[in-house]
Amino acid sequence: MNEKPQPLIQINAPSLPKGGGAIQSIGKGWGAVGTSGAASLELALPISPGRGFAPALELGYSSDVGNSPFGIGWRMTDNAISLRTTKGVPTYAGSDQVVGPGGDVWMPERSESDGTLISRAETTYNGLPLGDEHSVVRHWPRIEGEFALIEHWSTPADPAGFWLIHGADGSLHLYGKTRHSRRADPNEEAHVGVWMIDESLNTRGEHIVYEYKPEVDVPAPPQPRDFRAQRYLRRVCYGNEKAHPHLYAWSADSWKNQHWHFQLVFDYGERSAELETAPSFDETQAWTARSDAFWNYAYGFELGTRRLCRQVLMFHHFPKELGETPVLVQRLLLEHRTSPLGYSHLTAAHVQAYDSLGQVESRPPMEFTYNAFDLDPRHRGFAPFPDMPGLNDGQQYQMVDLYGEGLPGMLCRYDQAWYYREPLRSAQGGDGVGYSDWKRLESIPVADSRQPVHQSLTDLTGDGKLDWLIARPGLSGFFTLDPDRNWSGFVSFDAFPSEFFHPMARMADLVGDGLSDMALIGTRSVRLYANRRAAGFADGIDVPRRGISAERDEDDLPLLSNTPTELVASAGDLPMK
């Protein structure tokens, strides 16, 4: 008789408990670390779902993001259309590239025969009279993905216009309809850099309206900064009581006469931020200024930010059930700490929920700590320069990073030849640097003292490598360096300004596209020759000094000179504190 085999013993391996349970984090967890190595985190805003048509807003952190109205490293979902600034400061002449909310570049529709803009005239929209005649230009994304109809509407009185996007699902989105939803030059309202979303409408007649709060203070001593271009999201209204087939924005401020069931309010210090005190719906005090105001000049005007969002509030308004006053149901309180350098760091996020009796329920806060950056405390001291015979023999030596290695070598000019000593890292590691033997540079023009010619090293083509510029009357061009460290043949410019040889001419990145432009600075204006890469330089443009008059002679532009008591220099677009 065969015996039955004994069953194997059941093994339950030990494991860690799963997350979740009764207490959960208010955040959405850390995001994936991409190729940039930046850490990211998402924090949900207290948004009631409503009927399913609610604003898609989130608060996110990224370690490679600068300052914002929410603190260092934090950004809210940016639903806006803007001019592209990565290729330079916008000219506002109709040739600037437009970037959509998703980051795609939009191109206007043009005629295939002559390249002129294709437009149509409209005085109505879906049978609704608009009053003025609008010029409508369709735009296309470079990479089609959402299959939306994108249109720019403008009038002669408002050339900056607004944007209308028809989604593939039948939704309608309006951007920059009023000046309160535009970030523009306060001294030139037609120079709009950003169009923010005004309103969204779906096929069921449901609306989402966005309200912005502007800065209105005119700069005056002792505060010379101009903050008027900035706009802050103040309130989002959705859940309209009655469906409406048209955008409320077609009639100015008509949305304020509607009944909204849900209102998401952003508070910048106008209400109480005490943890134990429920803030009111109405503002009770003036908004406060932050300690780390900052500025950006990418759009060609001063865009300053001096407000800090303290909390985000969700109000419900159901008069029959809750009364006539909107009732607070949820609150996201943002707790900031000021660093020794004055910057605002978000250190904790508190979520509180309120019931109909006013009782509050709080979740454990999500707290944030930031690692400080400590400089190497070791004192390096003086390091002797390697012996280099002939360094002081009267020849023209220059230190330059010729090959883009991050370390400068030694470039020497002899009559009829150029020589270069390449930097070499020490074989033992550390910070030691040596230099190779002198090597003659081939395939570049010789330095002939009998033929005066201007030669300079500059990044003309914007590839991050130095080009060898040759300029003399009647013949101007450059040599490029390939990855194998070989100089190309001579490439002549299609256009080159004769004023290049003027003693007051200077090379600098004035357009902001990373290329070296040429400028001739006068007391009342600047003549700019924009870099066109291998094509040379564009025609000169005289840019006058803004606001000059006979009574303001003291505001003349400073001229470059060799005066030892005065420094005149140009600087790039730096966010200033």
Residue 305 lies in a domain: yes
566: pLDDT strictly greater than 70: no
Per-residue model confidence (pLDDT) at position 20 = 46
Percent of the chain having pLDDT more than 90? 44
Q: What is the C-alpha to C-alpha distance for residues 261 and 144, in angstroms, rounded to an integer?
A: 36
Encode pLDDT of 241-252 as tens digits: 999 999 999 998
DSSP 406: S
Same domain, 429 and 466: no
DSSP secondary structure string, 142-185?
Answer: SS--S--EEEEEEETTEEEEEEEEE-TTS-EEEE--SGGGEEEE
3-state secondary structure of 320: helix
Q: What is the mean pLDDT of residues 458-479?
A: 80
Q: What is the C-alpha to C-alpha distance for residues 421 and 402, in angstroms, rounded to an integer?
A: 10
Task: Classify residue 488 as exposed, middle or buried by CB count within 10 Å of its CB (0-12, 13-18, 19+).
Answer: middle
Residue 178 lies in a domain: yes
152: pLDDT strictly greater than 80: yes
Per-residue model confidence (pLDDT) at position 440 = 87
Q: What is the mean pLDDT of residues 342-349?
A: 92
pLDDT confidence of 540, banded at 50, 70, 90?
A: confident
Residue 12 lies in a domain: no
557 vs 50, more confident: 50
Same domain, 274 and 354: yes
Task: Classify residue 80 as exposed, middle or buried by CB count within 10 Å of its CB (0-12, 13-18, 19+).
Answer: buried
pLDDT confidence of 23, banded at 50, 70, 90?
A: very low
DSSP secondary structure string, 11-34?
Answer: -----PPPS-SSS--SEEEEPP--
Single-letter amino acid, residue 23: I
Q: What is the mean pLDDT of residues 204-215?
A: 96
| Contact between 402 and 479 (Cβ < 8 Å) | no
Encode pLDDT of 346-387 as tens digits: 999 999 999 877 789 998 999 999 887 777 777 667 777 777
Same domain, 362 and 501: no
Single-letter amino acid, residue 185: D
Lowest-pLDDT choice from 188-202, 214-228, 281-295, 493-507? 493-507
Per-residue model confidence (pLDDT) at position 477 = 84
Q: What is the C-alpha to C-alpha distance for residues 569 and 559, in angstroms, rounded to an integer?
A: 10
Per-residue model confidence (pLDDT) at position 572 = 52
Count of CB atoms situated within 10 Å of the CB of 293: 17
Residue 180 lies in a domain: yes
Per-residue model confidence (pLDDT) at position 576 = 44
500: pLDDT strictly greater than 50: yes
Per-residue model confidence (pLDDT) at position 392 = 63
Count of CB atoms situated within 10 Å of the CB of 428: 6
Per-residue model confidence (pLDDT) at position 88 = 85
Q: What is the C-alpha to C-alpha distance for residues 438 and 420, in angstroms, rounded to an integer?
A: 6
Same domain, 350 and 393: no
Per-residue model confidence (pLDDT) at position 399 = 86
Encode pLDDT of 123-147 as tens digits: 999 989 998 999 999 999 998 888 9
- Name the region of 340 (left: φ>0; alpha: ψ -120 to 50; beta: rest): alpha
Per-residue model confidence (pLDDT) at position 574 = 44
Same domain, 408 and 435: yes
Per-residue model confidence (pLDDT) at position 445 = 66
The H or E element that residue 321 is part of is helix 319-322
Per-residue model confidence (pLDDT) at position 14 = 60
Q: What is the C-alpha to C-alpha distance for residues 207 and 240, in angstroms, rounded to an integer?
A: 6
Per-residue model confidence (pLDDT) at position 546 = 64
Per-residue model confidence (pLDDT) at position 267 = 97
Q: What is the C-alpha to C-alpha distance for residues 357 and 264, in angstroms, rounded to an integer?
A: 21
Q: Which of 284-293, 453-462, 554-563 has the highest mean pLDDT?
A: 284-293
3-state secondary structure of 534: helix
329: pLDDT strictly greater than 60: yes
Same domain, 145 and 220: yes
| Contact between 265 and 281 (Cβ < 8 Å) | yes
24: pLDDT strictly greater than 60: no
Which residues lie across from 136 on neighbouring strands?
120, 153
Angle ∠(283,288,290) on CA atoms, nearest 5: 145
Single-letter amino acid, residue 376: D
The H or E element that residue 322 is part of is helix 319-322
Residue 111 lies in a domain: yes
Of 367, 397, 426, the position where a domain reaches its end is 367
Task: Classify residue 119 as exposed, middle or buried by CB count within 10 Å of its CB (0-12, 13-18, 19+).
Answer: middle
Single-letter amino acid, residue 82: S
Same domain, 247 and 142: yes
Residue 14 lies in a domain: no
Same domain, 338 and 400: no
284 vs 430, more confident: 284
Per-residue model confidence (pLDDT) at position 552 = 46
Same domain, 358 and 389: no
Q: What is the mean pLDDT of residues 331-351?
A: 92
| Contact between 316 and 361 (Cβ < 8 Å) | no
Q: What is the C-alpha to C-alpha distance for residues 385 and 400, in angstroms, rounded to an integer?
A: 15
Encode pLDDT of 159-186 as tens digits: 999 999 999 999 999 999 999 999 999 9
Of 367, 402, 428, the position where a domain reaches its end is 367
Q: What is the mean pLDDT of residues 271-291?
A: 92
Q: Cα Rg for the chain, rounded, in angstroms?
A: 31
CA nearest neighbour of 458 among 475, 441, 480, 443? 480
Encode pLDDT of 216-240 as tens digits: 988 877 778 899 999 999 999 999 9
Instruction: State residue 315 phi and psi, 5-degree precision.
Output: -115, 140
Domain ranges, residue 530:
460-577
pLDDT confidence of 25, banded at 50, 70, 90?
A: low
Residue 453 lies in a domain: no
Same domain, 152 and 60: yes
Same domain, 493 and 437: no
Residue 10 lies in a domain: no
Query: Strand (E) positions, 248-326?
Result: 260-267, 294-296, 303-305, 311-316
Average pLDDT, the chain: 84
Distances (CA, A) of 287 to 215, 234, 283: 11, 12, 9
Same domain, 422 and 541: no
Find all residues with CB under 8 Å of 28, minimum gap 6, and list them. 41, 42, 43, 44
The number of domains in the chain is: 3
Per-residue model confidence (pLDDT) at position 531 = 84
> The whole model's pTM is what?
0.76
Tokens of 217: 């203070």
547: pLDDT strictly greater than 70: no
3-state secondary structure of 408: coil
41 vs 192, more confident: 192
